[in-house]
Each structure stands twice: as C-alpha cells, then as structure tokens.
Amino acid sequence: MATSWVEGCVVSKRHWTDELFSLQINAPVEPYQAGQFTRLAADIGGERIARPYSYVNPPDQRPLEFYFITVPDGPLTSHMVGLEAGDKLWVQARPAGFFTLDEVPDAEYLWLLCTGTALGVFLAILKSEQPWRRFSRVVLAHGVRSAPELAYRDTIAEIQAQHGDQFRMISLVSREDSECSIRGRITHAIEDGRLEAIAAAPINAEQAQVMICGNPDMVRDTTALLEQRGMSKNRRSKPGHITIERYW
C-alpha cells in the first residue's frame, strides 16, 4: 500500500539539549491512539527521506508533537533541527503500531519504563484518560545518561498535579549524580529493589502490567529480568504482563 503523505506546517521548535529537540506541527492526520507512531519526511537531494516518530500529544490535542535526538550525519534529523515556524514537513497521514493500552490487560499497577526520547510515547499515554480509569497507580521511570536529558519536566509536573498519588515519576541518571534522581540504570534499580521501594508499588505477575520502550539493550535486559520473576510477554494470542516497543 502506498504511503499517504500530508503536508505539515511547523508551529514551534524546542531545544532541550544540543542533541534533543521537539517539533510541534499542524497536519491533517487520521485519528490515532495514544502510543501509536507515524513517519516524518523531507525531500532532500531529490529523495524523500522518512523515519518513524511517536506522537507525544494525545489524540485530542493539537498541534502534533514529536520528540527526537539528532543522529550524526543523519539527513532527516539534520534537516529537522534547522526548521522554524512556518516551514513545511511531510507527515504520514495514517498511524501505525500497537503499543497502546488497548493491547494491555488489566492490572492494579501500570509501570512505564523508558530511556531517552522514548519518554515521548508515554507522555501521550499519560495525557490520555485511559490509564487513570484502569489502574490504581501509574509509575513512569525514565532513564537518561545526564541530568539535562530529563526533558518535559513541566509536562510531568502537570500530570503529577492532576493525578496526585495515583501517579509516580522516577528519573534515573546513569553517568552523574542528580538531585531527585536515582543514580544508575533501570535494570539496576529493578535488581536492587529501589524502583519498587520508591514507587511503593510491586512489579510482579499478580498485580502489574509493564510497558517498556527505548534502547533495545534496555528493553532486552529489562524483559529478561521480569521474565525471571515469572512475568511473560504480552501477546494477543496469549495475554501476559510485558508489552515492548524498541526505538531503533
């Protein structure tokens, strides 16, 4: 099936670090679910270059928002960081992906584990209504290398203010000490029990569902740790406890 592209117009751009950016774009895309992704594209050197990006905004909010890291010598991200308000960018009209809460069984606790720019897909889910109707507590754990990479703190603070004790945010910084953050990786904080202790919520097959997104090594290693606890990958044919999405 041929890809259906629509023209998007940049509304704004935000610099988080020298490598991390967000673009807000107006584009007439088809309806989608929180957790799905689309593709952005630009015509560069006579070729349309496209890459997948998750929606950061929930389906009922506009403009569209995308969070990305620049790729060294990457033609598309090099183009995107140079865009300003009013510039054009192609957006795939039809959404894709199954990393949505419709695919996740019910449980008492929902854990959202991510690294880097994979935070964006969970912000879309957290800004939708579904997690707050279905789970008694939602825990977001975001791992980065250095503290400046802890983006969207204002958005997370708004979610915290809206949902109170039903929501818990845990940030982890692996390469330096950072105020109000765990020093280390998500896998380490699961192994030594810090993650569950801080969240006051268990990660087990009886009470929890876990969504994991980000660095493929983190996704693989975290999945293996949870499988050692008796948790299993969630499949349509055989519901489990672990729903995953890799970011490259």
What pLDDT digit, counting tens, does each position of 121-143 carry? 999 999 999 999 999 999 999 99
Percent of the chain with pLDDT over 70: 98
Q: What confidence tens digit (pLDDT) does each residue in 72-117 have?
A: 889 999 999 999 999 999 999 999 999 999 999 999 999 999 999 9
> How confident is the model over 50-72, as a mean pLDDT?
96
pLDDT of residue 73: 87
Class of domain 5-92: mainly beta
pLDDT of residue 177: 86
Over residues 22-30, the mean pLDDT reads: 98
Instruction: Tell me how long the chain is.
Output: 248
**pLDDT tops 90 at residue 247:** no
Q: What is the pLDDT of residues 167-213, one digit of tens each?
A: 999 999 999 888 889 999 999 999 999 999 999 999 999 999 999 99
Q: Which pLDDT tens digit goes with each residue over 147-172?
A: 999 999 999 999 999 999 999 999 99
Q: Which of 175, 164, 155 is nearest to 136 (CA)?
A: 164
C-alpha of 204 from chain center: 22
| Residue 239, pLDDT above cutoff 60 | yes
Cα-Cα end-to-end distance for the chain: 23
pLDDT interval class at 1 (50, 70, 90): very low
Q: Where are the alpha helices (DSSP H) in the chain?
A: 75-80, 119-126, 130-134, 153-163, 186-191, 194-199, 216-228
Q: Is 208 exposed, middle or buried (0-12, 13-18, 19+ CB in 10 A)?
A: buried
Q: Where are the domains of the chain?
A: 5-92, 101-246
3-state secondary structure (DSSP) of residue 170: strand
Amino acid 179: pLDDT: 82
Q: Rounded mean pLDDT of 62-67?
A: 98
**pTM for the structure as a whole:** 0.95
Which whole-number Å values give the CA distances from 124 to 67, 145, 153, 164, in the listed order? 11, 23, 14, 18
Report the pLDDT value the prediction gives residue 2, as an integer from 0 to 100: 59
pLDDT at residue 231, rounded to an integer:
98
Residue range 101-246 forms a domain whose CATH class is alpha beta
| CB of 133 closer than 8 Å to CB of 120 | no
Q: Distances in Å between the alpha carbon of 6 and those of 54, 57, 68, 79, 236?
A: 17, 18, 20, 18, 32
For the chain, give the mean pLDDT: 95
What value does the mean pLDDT take over residues 52-75? 96
Helix, strand and coil percent figures for the chain, each rounded to 5: 25, 35, 40
If you compute the radius of gyration of the chain from its CA atoms, what whole number of angstroms results? 18
| pLDDT greater than 50 at residue 217 | yes
